[in-house]
């Protein structure tokens, strides 16, 4: 039978607590599971890895690929509402699950986020109301498209239309010759060429939108990326100009409303040297830059994900502490010679306001997200001092 909403905490179905399903067993799924369980829901994870971080803490795990018909049927039969922890699940799987179960985000929103061409087109439409557009770009799908690229888009960044994240599937190009070579090196697949802009900084906004159109927003996050991967997120009074933060939040709400989105959505922005705002990309799920909300806000992005999925009210999260989040990559688990090392957790955790989150991944690898460290404090000065102290202990570059 179709699930009726709201699906209340503590509600019983056939004598057991209501069960929430999640496609994907990574760290985002793990933190969703924790949030769901704290509200009294049971959980089931679908992931091909039997040792997935989310599967290890969930009530149940279905070990199978995301397009496995029998696994999807099992998930459909057991879960009363279903979400996803990353955008590269088959949109068709979400569509089939949504026939009789609440699914958030919807398959169409995920399909748009999976394809940079469709994503850019959506940003252009939303910019008509918000005034915040993407960088000038061109779609390249053929040799003929290469010859038609406007000269003023170079230098630029060539990005594959699909399956690119954390800097993957991207190449900087300065000339038509470099562009052609990079496109062919990418396999001559559909790509987007974006004009390289003079960046001052990057930021992101995370919102949760309900089926009734209610929208709640986290504070705007100031982000630092290294090698295409988020390294540091800072959220405190004065981390960004108020006008800039307001424009970013308004643009994010417009993007979500235009999608008729349900669930948690992150939109990333570039801030140019002249202070203007450019929308970069979106993620139809909780985001690395919002992890601080678990320790620094009274409602985390993962609780918002549970609430949006189950039809519960969406309160505006209140930040109670200045905060900086450090992303912990597998590189930290190795010394300069490439030998594995033990990190100084005892010293790090002796710092006031340190909150360590390790994801339960059994093997450290270069570039792999192993955990994050959230520092909280009474002021920006306090939290910056403690975060820099922790970074030095861990061997992270200062910021």
Rounded CA-CA distance 193/338 in Å is 36
Torsion of CA 287, 288, 290, 291, to 10 degrees: 130
Mention every residue, 6+ apart, whose C-beta is less than 8 A from residue 280.
Answer: 134, 135, 202, 268, 269, 270
Helix-helix angle 242-259:116-130, to 10 degrees: 120
3-state secondary structure of 387: helix
Rounded CA-CA distance 280/271 in Å is 10
Locate all alpha helices (DSSP H) within the chain, ordered by sequence: 27-38, 69-78, 91-97, 107-114, 116-130, 143-148, 176-185, 242-259, 293-296, 301-310, 345-348, 380-394
DSSP code, position 246: H
159 among annotated binding-site residues: yes
236 among annotated binding-site residues: no
314 among annotated binding-site residues: no
Among 398, 345, 26, which residue's Cα sits nearest to residue 226? 398
Q: Is the peptide bond before 318 cis (omega within 30 degrees of 0)?
A: no
Locate all alpha helices (DSSP H) within 219-351, ordered by sequence: 242-259, 293-296, 301-310, 345-348
196 among annotated binding-site residues: yes
225 among annotated binding-site residues: yes
Cα Rg of the chain, angstroms: 21
Residues 123, 133: contact at Cβ < 8 Å?
yes
- The torsion angles phi and psi of 323, rounded to 5 degrees, stand at -150, 150
59 among annotated binding-site residues: no
DSSP code, position 330: G
Tokens coding 148: 């038609």
H or E element at residue 373: strand 369-377
187 among annotated binding-site residues: no
280 among annotated binding-site residues: yes
Among 302, 253, 241, 28, which residue's Cα sits nearest to residue 130? 253
Tokens coding 24: 């994907």
Length of the chain equals 399
42 among annotated binding-site residues: no
281 among annotated binding-site residues: yes
Q: Which residues are annotated as a binding site?
A: 116, 159, 164-170, 194-197, 202, 225, 280-281
Annotated binding site for ATP: 116, 159, 164-170, 194-197, 202, 225, 280-281
């Amino acid at each position: 039978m179709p699930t009726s909403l709201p699906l209340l905490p503590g509600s019983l179905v056939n004598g057991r607590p209501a069960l929430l399903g999640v496609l994907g067993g990574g760290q985002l799924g793990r933190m969703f599971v924790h949030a769901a369980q704290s509200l009294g829901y049971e959980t089931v994870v679908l992931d091909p890895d039997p040792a997935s971080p989310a599967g290890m803490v969930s009530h149940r795990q279905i070990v199978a690929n995301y397009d496995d018909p029998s696994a999807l049927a099992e998930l459909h039969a057991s879960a009363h509402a279903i979400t996803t922890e990353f955008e590269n699940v088959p949109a068709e799987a979400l569509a089939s699950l949504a026939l009789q179960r609440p699914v958030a985000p919807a398959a169409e929103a995920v399909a748009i986020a999976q394809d940079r061409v469709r994503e850019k087109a959506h940003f252009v439409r939303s910019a008509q109301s918000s005034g915040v557009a993407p960088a000038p770009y061109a779609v390249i799908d053929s040799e003929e498209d290469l010859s038609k690229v406007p000269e003023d888009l170079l230098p630029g960044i060539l990005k594959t239309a699909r399956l690119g994240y954390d800097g993957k599937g991207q190449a900087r190009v300065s000339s038509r010759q470099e562009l052609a070579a990079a496109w062919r090196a990418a396999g001559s697949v559909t790509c987007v060429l974006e004009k390289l802009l003079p960046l001052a900084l990057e930021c992101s906004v995370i919102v949760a939108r309900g089926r009734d159109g209610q929208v709640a927003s986290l504070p705007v996050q100031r982000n630092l990326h290294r090698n295409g991967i988020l390294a540091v997120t800072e959220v405190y009074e004065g981390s960004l100009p108020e006008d800039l933060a307001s424009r970013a939040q308004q643009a994010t709400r417009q993007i979500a409303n235009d999608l008729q989105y349900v669930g948690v959505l992150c939109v990333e922005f570039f801030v140019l040297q002249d202070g203007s705002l450019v929308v970069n990309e979106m993620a139809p799920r909780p985001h690395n830059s919002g992890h601080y909300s678990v320790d620094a806000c009274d409602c985390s992005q993962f609780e918002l994900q549970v609430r949006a999925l189950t039809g519960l009210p969406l309160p505006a999260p209140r930040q109670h502490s200045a905060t900086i989040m450090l992303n912990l990559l597998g590189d930290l688990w190795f010394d300069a010679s490439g030998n594995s090392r033990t990190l100084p957790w005892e010293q790090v955790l002796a710092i006031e306001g340190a909150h360590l989150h390790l994801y339960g991944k059994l093997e450290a690898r270069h570039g792999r997200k192993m955990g994050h460290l959230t520092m909280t404090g009474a002021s920006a000065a306090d939290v910056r001092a403690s975060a820099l102290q922790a970074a030095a202990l861990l061997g992270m570059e200062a910021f």
